[in-house]
Chain A
Amino acid sequence: MKMNKSGGRLHWLLALQAVILMLLASSPHVFADEALDQAVLKLQSPKLMEVRQALPLLKDSESEVADELLAALLTSDLYRSRADDRLVVMGATMPGGVEVRRLDMATEPPGLTEPEIAKKGDFRRVATNNAMRRQIRTLIATRSLQHKEVSRRLNAVNQIFDKLDEDNVELIQSAFAGEDNAEVKALMQQALQLFRLQTGALGDQLEAAQNLQDSLQPAVVNEFRSLRRELTDIADTRPLTAQEKLLQRAASDGIRKVEEKAEFYSKVENLFFGLSLGSVLVLAAIGLAVTFGVMGVINMAHGELIMLGAYTTFVIQQLMPQQVGLALLLSIPCAFVVSAVVGMLIERGVIRFLYGRPLETLLATFGVSLILQQAVRSIFSPLNRAVESPDWMHGVWQINPIFSITYNRLFIIFFSLMVFFALLLVLKKTSLGLRVRAVSQNRAMAQAMGVRSAWVDCTTFGLGSGIAGIAGVALSQLTNVGPNLGQSYIIDSFMVVVFGGVGNLWGTLVAGLSLGVANKFLEPFSGAVLAKILVLIFIILFIQKRPRGLFPQKGRAVDG
């Protein structure tokens, strides 16, 4: 038994050793880039001929840094040190010298160091001439067209779209043969067709125009427009030939199709913006829906609980500035706890004495909100603080050339839906939720059944407040964090709850999303501020018509 065990361990150790050895042995081979090594040697030479010989070597290099060297060479920003011939990329002129980034061949893979300040006189420019620069441009384009990442290749083709010429087209044609990604291939095809449309004979143009009917590229549409204009101008002087007429029609069709699509996508974009705005509203309002809707307590400090959540995010990010993403994930539970504790303190210290007197509760919690605001102002200064977003929330999801979605908005939508359903689950499926619903429907009866209603009040208030804190985490990713953050959301949140129907979480969801969408669809006609005013007026009128909101609570519990 014992032998067996140690024998097993021995096996593991041996295996581990083998793996380590393999890694050690293979690592120089993985990163070895002889082409780059040689290219650097050539670039360090003062002779133009040698530098020119470096270019094909750079083309073959597998390192990312080769792109940076080429780009620097193109803009004449590549220098070598007078002292030891090391290559540097020169940046902006700063007080006390220039910014330089040194080429560091020791790291794996080789790269540029962080910028430092140095004297310009210590470096010599690496010589280039016009013929070389043309060659470099082609090299850069080729390298990116044949890059191993699809997104880089797409990007490269997109960049060529705006400045198609013989050289570029040749590049694309040669890259097209070796391309295996369908998306990149289609895009290249479009670029080639566009070039035919721009330069070809009439027959070619007609064929290209028909091939490009479904393209959404702005460059294609622009070309169609100028073609149509040209043809109209020609039509003023002489009747068009049959082929010209066909081309004119193809161009018009292409423009019409793109315009139809553009209109459709702008609607989709509005809808998406509206949903993301609406989900912010939902997030800000569902905490309130719990305290106001379920408990009947007007908490004017709700906005400040959101603000506390946002500041918690800020503080945690200050504590761990290196890990933005982790800090954000950590701040969700932390913000929940901070806001929930503050909320429970408010309930125990103030609201408890005012049950049954909603107007007084409103005033007292407003006082609390002023105190919280001023406290934050005193602690963190009245200035707005910026909270960084992690990398995975940056960026754009480019669905097609005229429609894209930003990731942070997408995240907000999913996040608020998650919070919503989590809350729904808590209220419907847990015993706490059961008690909360019991107390909100009939307090006296619930007490008679043994529910400790005071304790339920306190927890419910903590739950609603904690969700406000989570909303603050989300808001910190959209706007700056400041002492007035909460105030700007409190009226909107009340509107959402009242519009959706008090005591109804689904109502809050529908109301928040539809108000957000309505806001965004009104904006193009009326401007952002007026849209907001119109929505407010609409809600004021709506409450007159249906004082209990979209989805009123039914049953005997509701007793006006």
Chain B
Amino acid sequence: MAELNPARFAGTHRKAVFDAGTNWFLGVLFAATLLVTLANQLLPPDSPFHVATFTVTLLGKYLTLALLAVAVDFVWGYMGILSLGHGAFFGLGGYAMGMYLMRQIGDRGVYGHPELPDFMVFLNWSELPWFWQGFDQFWFAALMILLVPGTLAFVFGWLAFRSRVSGVYLSIITQALTYALMLAFFRNEMGFGGNNGLTDFKDLLGFDLQSDDTRIGLFITSAIALSLGYLLCKWITVTRFGRVMLAVRDAENRTRFSGYKVEHVQLVVFVLSAMIAGVAGALYVPQVGIINPGEFSPLNSIEIVVWVAIGGRATLYGAVIGALLVNFSKTWFTGVMPEVWLFALGGLFVFVTIVLPQGISGLFRHLKKKQGDPPIGPDAPVHREATA
């Protein structure tokens, strides 16, 4: 029972970054981005194939969520850490971007204060808190988008992995982490706008956020970020380091006994994943125009996990498919019959875990198996987790 199937890994050393999955994924993403952009820019608005800017922004939002799903798949699918708190890293990246956008408003706010954002004037604050300093510079904000989620993930992960917290316990404390952050950000005293969060953004790097060109630009940037994030994760998984990740996922103790520093591997992957989630959040905020503590709610984080589960773990492209599919149907359901959405989502949770444990990409893999190319995804319940 504990034996690993050697056939599972046979031939995996041949894996390159640009395998069939990657090529297909990048190709489809590139073609779709190009088509949408052209359809928006060149076709007249009354053409049936014209894509409205609203739709483009919606697609851009989905792409950032897909990037978030890739980050979760990277830790869960390839290393077996089920994080129920990735919404926290996403939200922190989003807040860092939101703070930059707030500072860009300058004196165009409702109260017209040259330096303080509206909500601080409203709360009778006289000067900018120290942690808002520097966010008027884009490079600083960009650095923070990576550093803040990364640091939190580092501290949290260092504490957790060092003491070998794993499995369900880790999931629950990551959920507590994002829950604590949500409670904290709801407080006005925190200086992040409390309940209402940050909103009323005007422009980004001098581009007007309301203009069509900026929105197309953000869409394309999101597509590029998704491709880069995908490639980065894919590249890591095919290196030697990636092999160790898989080993940690399938038999943590054996890997440790073989002399690998399991907690280091876990920490590196966790921090990297958090940074990717932060970037996704930063691209998400200018497109939806608001960031508030609701992003930290445990439900959001657990929803991300479902995207990955539906798309199929340990494929990366599966995560993207899951994220796009669930979010499309969410938009559709909440528009047409909102009361059914939670039934559908809840049903999906149950259906996928029981009937389709390998997700949609598992179906692809099923077809590929006939061609004798074993996948590297988990294909059986990992026994180690049973005792955790």
Are A and B subunits of one complex?
yes
Q: Is the Cβ of A529 less than 8 Å from the Cβ of B353?
A: no
Cβ < 8 Å to A, chain B residues 252-291 = none
Judge whether B364 is part of the interface by a CB distance below 8 angstroms. Answer: no
Q: A359-B82, A367-B350, A547-B163 are in contact. Are A537 and B387 (CB under 8 A)?
A: no
Judge whether B339 is part of the interface by a CB distance below 8 angstroms. Answer: yes
CA distance A63 to B356 in the complex (A): 76
Interface centre among A367, A529, A537 (most CB of B within 10 A): A367
CA distance A373 to B156 in the complex (A): 31
Residues in A neighbouring B305, C-beta threshold 8 A: 363
Q: Is the Cβ of A354 less than 8 Å from the Cβ of B353?
A: yes
CA distance A539 to B172 in the complex (A): 11
Residues in B neighbouring A402, C-beta threshold 8 A: none
Output the nearest chain A residue to B76 by Cβ-Cβ distance. A359
Could you give, for residues 527-560 of chain A, a 1 whenever the CB lies within 8 Å of some chain B CB and a 0 otherwise? 1011011001101110111010000000000011
Q: A354-B354, A529-B186 are in contact. Are A359 and B159 (CB under 8 A)?
A: no
CA distance A368 to B165 in the complex (A): 27
Cβ < 8 Å to B, chain A residues 489-529 = 491, 494-495, 498, 527, 529
Q: A366-B302, A543-B173, A560-B388 are in contact. Are A350 and B159 (CB under 8 A)?
A: no
Q: Is the Cβ of B346 less than 8 Å from the Cβ of A374?
A: yes
Across the interface, A494 reaches (CB within 8 A) one of B172, B343, B346, namely: B172
Output the nearest chain B residue to A369 by Cβ-Cβ distance. B346
Q: Is the Cβ of A371 less than 8 Å from the Cβ of B347?
A: yes
Judge whether B214 is part of the interface by a CB distance below 8 angstroms. Answer: no
CA distance A165 to B223 in the complex (A): 83
**Chain B residues within 8 Å of A, Cβ to Cβ:** 82, 156, 159-160, 162-165, 167-169, 171-173, 175-177, 179-180, 183-184, 186-187, 298-299, 302, 305-306, 309, 339, 341-343, 345-350, 352-354, 357, 381, 383, 385-388
Query: A372 to chain B: closest CB distance in Å?
Result: 8
Q: Is the Cβ of A370 less than 8 Å from the Cβ of B346?
A: yes
Residues in B neighbouring A544, C-beta threshold 8 A: 159-160, 162-163, 165
Give 18 CB contacts A-B under 8 Å: A298-B168, A353-B354, A356-B386, A357-B385, A358-B167, A363-B306, A364-B350, A370-B349, A374-B343, A487-B299, A491-B179, A495-B172, A498-B172, A498-B173, A529-B183, A536-B176, A547-B164, A559-B387
Given contacts A362-B82, A536-B176, A536-B179, 18 further A-B contacts (CB under 8 A): A350-B354, A359-B385, A360-B381, A362-B168, A364-B349, A367-B349, A368-B350, A369-B346, A370-B342, A370-B345, A371-B347, A371-B350, A377-B342, A495-B176, A533-B183, A540-B180, A544-B162, A560-B388
Residues in B neighbouring A373, C-beta threshold 8 A: 342
Residues in A neighbouring B352, C-beta threshold 8 A: 363
CA distance A529 to B190 in the complex (A): 12
Q: Is the contact region of chain A dominated by helix, strand, or loop, or is it mixed?
A: helix
Residues in B neighbouring A495, C-beta threshold 8 A: 172, 176
Judge whether A378 is part of the interface by a CB distance below 8 angstroms. Answer: yes
Residues in B neighbouring A530, C-beta threshold 8 A: 184, 187
Q: Is the Cβ of B339 less than 8 Å from the Cβ of A378?
A: yes
Q: Is the Cβ of B350 less than 8 Å from the Cβ of A540?
A: no
CA distance A377 to B348 in the complex (A): 19
Query: A115 to chain B: closest CB distance in Å?
Result: 41
Residues in A neighbouring B173, C-beta threshold 8 A: 498, 539-540, 543
Query: B29 to chain A: closest CB distance in Å?
Result: 27
CA distance A491 to B183 in the complex (A): 13
Q: Is the Cβ of B176 less than 8 Å from the Cβ of A539?
A: yes
Residues in B neighbouring A366, C-beta threshold 8 A: 302, 346, 349
Output the nearest chain A residue to B162 by Cβ-Cβ distance. A544
Output the nearest chain B residue to A483 by Cβ-Cβ distance. B342
Q: Is the Cβ of A363 less than 8 Å from the Cβ of B159?
A: no
CA distance A541 to B156 in the complex (A): 9
Residues in A neighbouring B298, C-beta threshold 8 A: 491
Output the nearest chain A residue to B175 by Cβ-Cβ distance. A491
CA distance A219 to B350 in the complex (A): 64
Output the nearest chain A residue to B177 by Cβ-Cβ distance. A540
Residues in A neighbouring B343, C-beta threshold 8 A: 370-371, 374-375
CA distance A377 to B346 in the complex (A): 14
Residues in A neighbouring B354, C-beta threshold 8 A: 350, 353-354, 364
Query: B75 to chain A: closest CB distance in Å?
Result: 12
Residues in A neighbouring B299, C-beta threshold 8 A: 487
Output the nearest chain A residue to B357 by Cβ-Cβ distance. A360
Output the nearest chain A residue to B186 by Cβ-Cβ distance. A529
Residues in A neighbouring B346, C-beta threshold 8 A: 366-371, 374
CA distance A358 to B168 in the complex (A): 7
Q: Is the Cβ of A357 less than 8 Å from the Cβ of B381?
A: yes
Q: Is the Cβ of A547 less than 8 Å from the Cβ of B345?
A: no
CA distance A45 to B171 in the complex (A): 80
Residues in B neighbouring A357, C-beta threshold 8 A: 381, 385-386
Residues in A neighbouring B302, C-beta threshold 8 A: 363, 366
Q: Is the Cβ of B385 less than 8 Å from the Cβ of A377?
A: no
Q: Is the Cβ of A356 less than 8 Å from the Cβ of B187?
A: no
Q: Is the Cβ of A543 less than 8 Å from the Cβ of B165?
A: yes
Across the interface, B353 reaches (CB within 8 A) one of A360, A370, A487, A532, namely: A360
Q: Is the Cβ of A533 less than 8 Å from the Cβ of B385?
A: no
Query: B12 to chain A: closest CB distance in Å?
Result: 23
Query: A399 to chain B: closest CB distance in Å?
Result: 34
Closest 3 CB pairs of A and B: A367-B349, A370-B346, A371-B346
Query: B207 to chain A: closest CB distance in Å?
Result: 37
Q: Is the Cβ of A536 less than 8 Å from the Cβ of B385?
A: no
Across the interface, B385 reaches (CB within 8 A) one of A358, A369, A487, namely: A358
Residues in B neighbouring A354, C-beta threshold 8 A: 353-354
CA distance A369 to B303 in the complex (A): 13
Cβ < 8 Å to B, chain A residues 32-56 = none
Query: B78 to chain A: closest CB distance in Å?
Result: 14
Query: B261 to chain A: closest CB distance in Å?
Result: 18
CA distance A378 to B341 in the complex (A): 12
CA distance A370 to B207 in the complex (A): 41
Residues in B neighbouring A487, C-beta threshold 8 A: 299
Query: A496 to chain B: closest CB distance in Å?
Result: 11
CA distance A166 to B231 in the complex (A): 91
Residues in A neighbouring B342, C-beta threshold 8 A: 370-371, 373-374, 377
Q: Is the Cβ of B163 less than 8 Å from the Cβ of A545?
A: yes
Output the nearest chain A residue to B182 by Cβ-Cβ distance. A533
Query: A225 to chain B: closest CB distance in Å?
Result: 34
CA distance A536 to B165 in the complex (A): 16
CA distance A541 to B180 in the complex (A): 13
Residues in A neighbouring B165, C-beta threshold 8 A: 543-544, 547
Cβ < 8 Å to B, chain A residues 377-396 = 377-378
CA distance A533 to B82 in the complex (A): 22
Residues in A neighbouring B167, C-beta threshold 8 A: 358-359
Residues in A neighbouring B348, C-beta threshold 8 A: 367
Interface centre among B167, B173, B381 (most CB of A within 10 A): B173
Q: Is the Cβ of B176 less than 8 Å from the Cβ of A540?
A: yes
Output the nearest chain B residue to A549 by Cβ-Cβ distance. B169
Output the nearest chain B residue to A539 by Cβ-Cβ distance. B176
Output the nearest chain A residue to B298 by Cβ-Cβ distance. A491
